[in-house]
Chain A
């Protein structure tokens, strides 16, 4: 019995027909209502509206204005002009879109599969299991900006470990291998650090999900002559389905957010070829002082997120029978 986060939506008390209290006295005391809920909700609502929802709406509004971001400058309404500029005159925007899309697609496959393999390997008694688990998981608790620095050093063309390995394998021309300064490769080099960071998180989620796989079912499938792959395919994987969905959704959300790693490793370069949407929005607002373009990019990012996430939320509020 595995529940997804969002299935809880449907369990909200307001919707359930609860057994009505027998005594009218109880009914009166327990009535509740929004007034009773307000003192508990107010601080959260205030923080959420002022610092999360408010700024998001502002971002959408500001995407329709021309503004440098400085208090002294005026905001001038320009309609959809920022979007027109973004789509037609900003080649970096399309690079960023492409990189973000590639990033999401790759991360749906690579760190997820790795995490699943780690979990499957460690879901049985193995000598040193806790050490394995910790080593795989620890990158996930480190600050992405620290990870960026570690990998930047590993990619160092002269003294880095990856360069040394490439030389030892006689890869390239022996003059040291460039990864982060190669416009074609940089984004994938950063992605490798991302894989290192998140695979262990996926492993932990899969390990949790594997607890819900019925041991008896696995055993009886084995007795029926199923081999390891068949057991995995027909017993384990179906039972893991809710976990797989959670992992994929979290992966999408985390991939769209990628920011620190790129800032720390390339800053979007060389020649903006490793830009991603989240960083490009920031760069336009804060480095180019073009809040209009920056917020138009942010709005695009918001729309992409909603398009990807809302179907999941609808699915998970409806599909309780899983």
Chain B
């Protein structure tokens, strides 16, 4: 076995030695292709940033690629003043700060029950949760509106927090179920021999062991809560209760042609999420990793 790998190595070294220059050209070509694709991909963002810094005059008279002659920060000020951005940002933050930890805890408890406690219909329940993660929210939108109305929670942050928890569950339960199942069962028995019950097993053993998965789900869920539009659209109907996506939409329908402030508004609204992405990059990859394809 070892000789085999050895001989392969040397073989490879011989084979690689000659066409080396070729390989480098391919590499450089690939890199240039990548760089061009990246520029194309970044173009929408670059273009929006450029517009957000231009005065109205400049937008109308110069090419969209041209750099702003001087940064027009007034666009940002105007977007802040007229766009309900701070109220909406506060609402979005409040909703996310309550929804994400509470929802995650509820999901974790359910995933714990499904993975560690033996009962009859656990498989069916898991399938029911799995299916729920695939059905579009819009199917339930009409009746959901009625439910929230009956609960008296229209224009109330709770009116979106509760459905967000419901719709966030399936995916999280699924991911955490996989993660919890990977924790060795021997731990359960040792906890139980010590006289500990399910609650202790869950809070003191399983949850701490699952920190990486929980952290990843926390970040992913924060972003999707921040971005959610359809449910917010039907539940939060007055200006005071608006979330960021609603504020974007109403700003754009109100100030259709003030392109500078409009783009400044877009930039400010996506900034928190971009910062979160840059800070917690690895969790996004990890979250999707544990999420869809578990190695």
The interface of chain A, by Cβ under 8 A from chain B, is 1-6, 8-9, 11-15, 18, 21, 26, 29-34, 36-38, 40-41, 43-45, 47-48, 50-56, 58-59, 62, 69, 71, 118, 121-122, 126-127, 130-132, 134-139, 141-147, 149-154, 156, 159-161, 163-164, 196, 200-201, 204-205, 207-209, 211-212, 219-220, 222-223, 242-243, 246-247, 249-250, 253, 256-257, 259-260, 263-264, 278-279, 281-282, 285-286, 291, 294-295, 298-299, 301-302, 305-306, 309-310, 313, 317
Contacts and interface: CB of A to CB of B under 8 A. Distances in A.
Interface stretch (B70-78, B79-87, B161-169, B208-216): B161-169
B284 A260 contact: no
B64 A160 contact: yes
Contacts of B136: 253, 256-257, 259, 278, 301-302, 305
Given A142-B270, A302-B135, A246 B292 contact: yes
A97 to B, nearest CB: 14
A56 B140 contact: yes
B156 to A, nearest CB: 14
B43 interface: yes
Contact of B147 (A12, A50, A142): A50
A205 B276 CA distance: 20
Contact of A9 (B8, B126, B188): B126
A236 B64 CA distance: 42
Q: Is the interface of B mostly helix, strand, loop or mixed?
A: helix
Q: Is the interface of A mostly helix, strand, loop or mixed?
A: helix
Contact of B139 (A15, A59, A260): A59
Interface string B237-259: 00000001100110010000001
A61 B125 CA distance: 23
A52 B116 contact: no
Given A14-B121, A302-B135, 11 more contacts: A4-B292, A5-B174, A5-B178, A5-B291, A41-B110, A43-B106, A52-B132, A143-B248, A154-B44, A302-B139, A305-B136
A143 B245 contact: yes
Given A15-B123, A43-B109, A161-B65, A139 B138 contact: no
Contacts, number: 354
Contacts of B106: 43-44, 47
Interface string B125-142: 111111110111111111
Interface string B19-52: 0000000000011011001100111110110010
A149 B41 contact: no
16 contacts: A13-B118, A34-B120, A43-B106, A51-B144, A52-B163, A52-B170, A56-B140, A134-B277, A136-B37, A141-B274, A146-B248, A150-B45, A154-B47, A247-B292, A263-B233, A286-B142
Nearest to A21: B189
B281 A33 contact: no
A135 B118 contact: no
A163 B139 CA distance: 37
A264 B288 contact: no
A306 B132 CA distance: 10
Given A30-B189, A223-B8, A313-B127, A8 B178 contact: yes
B183 interface: no
B12 A223 contact: yes
A130 B188 CA distance: 40
Find the residue from B118, B128, B149, B294 having the highest chain A CB count within 10 A: B118
A58 B146 contact: yes
Nearest to B46: A161
Given A52-B140, A52-B166, A253-B134, A139 B65 contact: no
Given A53-B132, A134-B281, A219-B8, A282 B51 contact: no
Contacts of A222: 12
Interface residues of B, number: 115
Given A11-B181, A282-B138, A47 B277 contact: no
Contact of B294 (A3, A122, A137, A145): A3
Find the residue from A8, A34, A58, A143 having the highest chain B CB count within 10 A: A143
Contacts of A309: 131, 134
B284 A141 contact: yes
Given A146-B270, A223-B12, A54 B143 contact: yes
Contact of B119 (A29, A34, A121, A205): A34
B113 A41 contact: yes
A4 B291 CA distance: 9
B292 A5 contact: yes
B295 interface: yes
B122 to A, nearest CB: 5
Given A12-B114, A43-B109, A281-B139, A139 B134 contact: no
A51 B153 CA distance: 13
Given A2-B293, A131-B38, A150-B266, A143 B227 contact: yes
Given A44-B110, A301-B139, A161 B229 contact: no
Nearest to B51: A153
Nearest to B140: A55
Given A151-B44, A309-B134, A141 B34 contact: no
Given A59-B143, A264-B252, A135 B177 contact: no
